[in-house]
Chain A
Amino acid sequence: MNAAVLVQLLVSGLAMGFIYALVGIEYTLVWNSTGLLNFSHDKLIMLGAYLFGGTFVLGMGFSNPLAIVLAFVIMGLIGVLIANGIFNPLRTMQSMIFAVMGTMILGRIIKEACRLIWGPAPFAISGWLSGNIRIGKISISNANIIICLVSLLVVIGLQLFLNFTKTGKAMRCVAQNKKAAALMGINVTQNICITTAVSAIICSIIGILIIPLFNVSTTMSNSIGLKGFSAGVIGGFGYLPGAIIGGIIIGIVENLAVMVLPAVYKDVVSFVLLILFLLVKPTGLLGKRA
């Protein structure tokens, strides 16, 4: 294979890597804030795509920017509902299995609800982030470029929010120590609501970004959900920059691996990487906590 192929694979790997990174960020936020994993997170990604594409663009014929804003609003509200319906009431129970089961079942409910509301047929949003740029032999799709740019914006925006706003600082306090945060006058319950809402909005960003790659279907987010989890583990669980690094590493490594291995082993590469990290460096690349 030649240099053009290498660049081609690097670009699509980088774009997928950013998607995995966003997935990693989205559930790391919830994990830090509640100490729980949101097992319905990949279904929220799908729901975001359905709301944007199925309801606002195709159903109501809104312009794309308006549809995006509306999808964010609805997803934020759904995030608040999840926080108040599952995380807040269940997180203090004796075992975390209650809340984990809650999110898991919620995932199944969302999936079947999407099928009932929008029908079982997968669909595409014609013209959404389509097209591509050709540079010599290399072809880069606009979707990949936009995925990279938007992901960078989300990462930067989130860092600014967490470091420079009162709510963001409170979120970091809650992540570090809930009891101390409560003693300092931070409303932990409310804070979990905000965090889950932010996480749900990031889910919808992911969902909207991957529509041109995967189309809208009830299974669209299955594999990125798992890879996003791997991204968190490889980068350092519970640490936001770690999720980003981990995601990009997985995206690029699994894509470049097909230059030496048959392409069918692409997934194997990412999950072998996950297992290797669990065995050799369970704290991940940037992880500080065991």
Chain B
Amino acid sequence: MKKGLWKYLSLVLMVAMVLSLVACSNPDETSESESTNSTVEEATSTSEPVKIGLVAMLTGDNPLNGERMQQAVQLAIDEYNAAGGILGGREIELLVEDDQTLQDMAVTCVEKLISEEVVGIIGPHRSTNALAVEATVATAGVPTLTGGTSPSISELGNDYLFRIRASDEIFASVAAAYAVDELGAKKIGMLYNSDDYGAGAEKIVAEYCKANGIGYVSEGHNTGDTDFTAQITKMGTEGVDALLIWTHDSELAIHARQIYELGLEAKVVSSPGITMQQVIDMCEPEYIEGWQGVTDYVFTSTDETVQEFNKKFSEKYGINTELYSASYYGAALVLIEAIEAAGTTDRTAVMEALKKTSDLSAPVGVLECDDKNNLVHSVNVAEIINKEPVFIKSISVE
């Protein structure tokens, strides 16, 4: 009476394929009319605005982070425009594209921005997306600043791809060293996301423990998992005294609740997510009291640049700053300063100016470009006290 199950499953597959087509054919098609042959240099009349592109995930699975990116970059640009613009009075114009955290969309967005003759591109954020657009920006020669933290990005040797957050290697090694040196851990347990982000950190922590003779046990989970009873219980039976958790926002909040409910007694050092307001908001205060997190940025830091930035941002948008707004505010600063330093909108000259960045004060620390195009070299440790990330210390790494 009912149509066969097989027929249904093949239908499901077919629909899945159709949907992936829908995802590709977004309105972000490169418009033919704009791809004229004029080069960027030709457009340097003094009245024309200087165009900067932003690729942010405004819809899709991580829309909040994309919104913060856009707000921060817009804030920086508004400030420069209010102060009279750059390159002798030219306004800065921000062109925003939404990559939905999808790799294929990221490439489309970058191509569109390139055709619209932006001087530089900020974003895409995720490492996987940065790797997806890497060849495109190298070929077109557009300076691009990403917040992707995968160590593989600095191994590319791509002159045009700059990184405005510290590498995962730095975060993970600081977290492990902090647990051992400051918290006196004898046996470390690690709960990690099985994707590139978590697994990369797991490798570094495992090596650290082996090299220093610290006991170590680890258990993985997948993005989207919602029950970690098994992993947490194992940590309890293994008797770990410090727990490192390396995963994304939603999974992190669920970990916090389940660790509390299962009564696991261990000091926790977490990936940057725990210092984010949106993660803290998902937890009851007692779940995360006393948790420590390594992060790019803590808005409670006593640093003057941080205080000033947090004040400006919260006045404009009514919320405190976090790592996305801080990182991408820094990205906008460094790019605009490089354009000013280059004295032209020529993309290659801007890339060269970016490489010479040194001693530029930004909310995430002092920006300095190394030979692998990394701009940030310090990490903060914060402790959660009564649902607020409290700045503990800043650790610089070479």
Residues of A within 8 A of B (CB): 1-2, 5, 8-9, 12, 16, 35, 37, 39, 96-97, 100-101, 104, 112, 115, 119-124, 126, 130, 132, 134, 139, 141, 176-177, 210, 212-215, 217-220, 222-224, 233, 237-238, 255, 258-259, 262-264, 266-267, 278, 282, 289-290
Contact = CB atoms under 8 A, between A and B. Distances in A.
B18 A101 contact: yes
A179 to B, nearest CB: 11
B227 interface: yes
B5 interface: yes
A9 B229 contact: yes
A218 B106 CA distance: 21
B24 interface: no
Given A121-B278, A121-B281, A267-B225, A139 B262 contact: yes
B59 A100 contact: no
Interface stretch (B89-97, B230-238, B292-300, B342-350): B230-238
Interface residues of B, number: 50
B283 interface: yes
A58 B231 CA distance: 32
Interface string B265-301: 0000000000000100111100000000000000000
A213 B237 contact: no
Contact of A132 (B59, B226, B261, B282): B261
A259 B231 CA distance: 10
A122 B278 contact: yes
B54 to A, nearest CB: 17
B73 to A, nearest CB: 17
Contact of B282 (A122, A177, A255): A122
B227 A12 contact: yes
Nearest to A142: B261
20 contacts: A2-B237, A5-B237, A8-B233, A8-B262, A12-B229, A96-B3, A120-B64, A120-B66, A121-B64, A121-B281, A123-B281, A126-B284, A130-B284, A212-B257, A213-B254, A219-B250, A263-B219, A267-B225, A278-B9, A290-B4
B202 to A, nearest CB: 11
A214 B281 contact: no
Question: Top 8 nearest A-B pairs by Cβ distance?
Answer: A120-B63, A264-B220, A258-B230, A120-B64, A124-B282, A12-B229, A132-B261, A121-B278
Nearest to A100: B15
Nearest to A267: B222
B221 A214 contact: no
B225 A266 contact: yes
B262 A222 contact: no
B1 interface: yes
The winner among A132, A233, A264 for most chain B CB atoms within 10 A is A264
Contacts of B63: 115, 120, 218
B395 interface: no
Given A124-B282, A262-B220, A255 B229 contact: yes
Given A96-B3, A219-B250, 7 more contacts: A101-B18, A176-B1, A213-B226, A215-B254, A223-B224, A238-B2, A255-B229
Nearest to A107: B19
Contacts of B229: 8-9, 12, 255
Nearest to A124: B282
Contact of A120 (B67, B225, B230): B67
Nearest to A264: B220
B230 A255 contact: yes
A112 B63 CA distance: 10
B191 to A, nearest CB: 9
B253 A122 contact: yes
Contacts of B225: 223, 266-267
B250 A141 contact: no
A124 B253 contact: yes
B226 A214 contact: yes
A219 B224 contact: yes
Nearest to B64: A120
B248 to A, nearest CB: 10
A262 B15 contact: no
